[in-house]
Structure 1
Amino acid sequence: MSELDKSREEPTGGARLLIDFGPLLVFFLANFFAPVPGPIKIFYATGAFMIAMIAAMLFSQIRFGKISPMLWFSGLMVVVMGGITIWLHDETFIKIKPTLYYTLIAAILGFGLYTGRPLLKAVLGSTYPGLDEEGWKKLTRNWALFFVCMAILNEAVWRNTTTNFWVGFKLWGAIPLTFLFAIANVPMLIKHGMNLTDAKPAEPGPVE
């Protein structure tokens, strides 16, 4: 495969899972197995999360010749909020990171809809071939609302449960919810022209 072909290739299958969910799995495992007292584990896990996210970005660049805008944004959020968490020794910052991420993405998608530009089309156009303009508008609206709900849910979980529960929720709660929501959109996508033969089902970016 030439370098040009590689640069046009999209992550799929195991590579997509590794890029999108690998750092989150590392975060969960580091928090679970860190050989330190309970309250300190989150800081070790945060450091591991930052390293894993950077590694995922490097893998994407080396293997596929690019880093998606969503991965750039997610990686920046992890590094900045994770760095503040470790620097100030305050786990609040890593806990509110998903809230900020979901809120900002929802705001960007909402702004795109308001200005007549369903921005998901620019990010996921090759993922849903054949989808008409109305379908892109509905998909963008649906994901914007989903991200608002996820922001609210993250706030409810971290403010009312233990740190270990919140870390587990990110892996065992947020990921299944995202997959289920993506699947729930399929009938609407088919109705608006999505070509199932060439489609590459995907959610917009890494789960936070």
Structure 2
Amino acid sequence: MSDEKQIKPWVKPVLEMGPILAFFAGYIALRDHVFTIGGTEYSGFIVMTAAFIPLLALSTLILWRLTGKLSAMQIMTLVLVVVFGGLTIWLNDERFFKMKPTMIYIMFGAILGVGLMRSKSYLSLVLGEVMPLDAEGWRKLEFRMMLFFFGLAVANEVIWRTLTTDTWVKFKTFGLPIAMLLFFMAQSGLMARHSTEEADKDAAE
């Protein structure tokens, strides 16, 4: 039985996407402005990065207080945002914040890869309650997700290095969540074939 506290379905996505949408809105409003703080000029992107870090930390804290738990993905994301966002502000260089999604997806892909090599299903520990699959189903899903994460890392690098900051911000705000949604929609067949939900119901009767 899970120790996670029950919350309304809309609360979690609002807390997870709220800081990202706030960053997007703030960037759009401030992208053409330059702010002088302590004798140093900072772009609107840097200023919004400075605002995004505590906003994400606050939303993560609220989510933890409401649910009683955080996933490894949420914790790692917060840590990397603090590290790379901090470097962006300290060095006044937006490239560090743009590299953050690359590091996140490489780490997630590497963790899944290690799990596959060790025949351990790390993904099932996170999603096992909402997506009951058999062992083969988890292996297939984790392999596909590992490739997907590495693909997102490559896409992020290509976009921030070759396209404008506006394009990268739109990609980060809308492209990445949409890509994640489409990925899981594409796995519906796999989930249906390898679901153990019916078997669990039959065993309970």
TM-score normalized with structure 2 length: 0.86
Does residue 124 of structure 2 align to residue 121 of structure 1?
A: yes
Which of 106, 109, 114 is matched with 1:106 structurally? Answer: 109
- Percentage identity across aligned positions? 35
- Tell me the CA shift for residue 62 of structure 1: 1.4
SS in 1 for 2:168: helix
Which of 63, 86, 92 is matched with 1:89 structurally? Answer: 92
Distance 1:78 1:88 in 2: 15
Name the counterpart of 1:29: 25
- Tell me if structure 1 keeps the 8 A contact 2:99–2:157: yes
- Tell me the CA shift for residue 120 of structure 1: 0.2
Which protein is bigger by CA-based radius of gyration? 2
Which of 176, 179, 184 is matched with 1:177 structurally? Answer: 179
Mark the CA change 1:62 to 1:87 in structure 2 (over 3 Å): closer, same or farther: same
1:103-148 Cα deviation digits (max 9, x unpaired): 111011001001101210111111112x100001111111111000
1:171-196 Cα deviation digits (max 9, x unpaired): 12111111000111111011002539
Mark the CA change 1:190 to 1:12 in structure 2 (over 3 Å): closer, same or farther: farther
Distance 1:109 1:80 in 2: 23
- Tell me the CA shift for residue 19 of structure 1: 2.9
TM-score normalized with structure 1 length: 0.85
Distance 1:26 1:190 in 2: 36
Which of 138, 159, 166 is matched with 1:136 structurally? Answer: 138
- Tell me if structure 1 keeps the 8 A contact 2:5–2:66: no
- Tell me if structure 2 keeps the 8 A contact 1:26–1:48: no
- Tell me if structure 1 keeps the 8 A contact 2:64–2:70: yes
Does residue 57 of structure 2 align to residue 54 of structure 1?
A: yes
Mark the CA change 1:6 to 1:56 in structure 2 (over 3 Å): closer, same or farther: farther
Give ranges in structure 1 of 5+ residues lacking alignment: 199-208
Mark the CA change 1:182 to 1:24 in structure 2 (over 3 Å): closer, same or farther: same
Mark the CA change 1:181 to 1:10 in structure 2 (over 3 Å): closer, same or farther: farther
- Tell me the CA shift for residue 8 of structure 1: 1.9
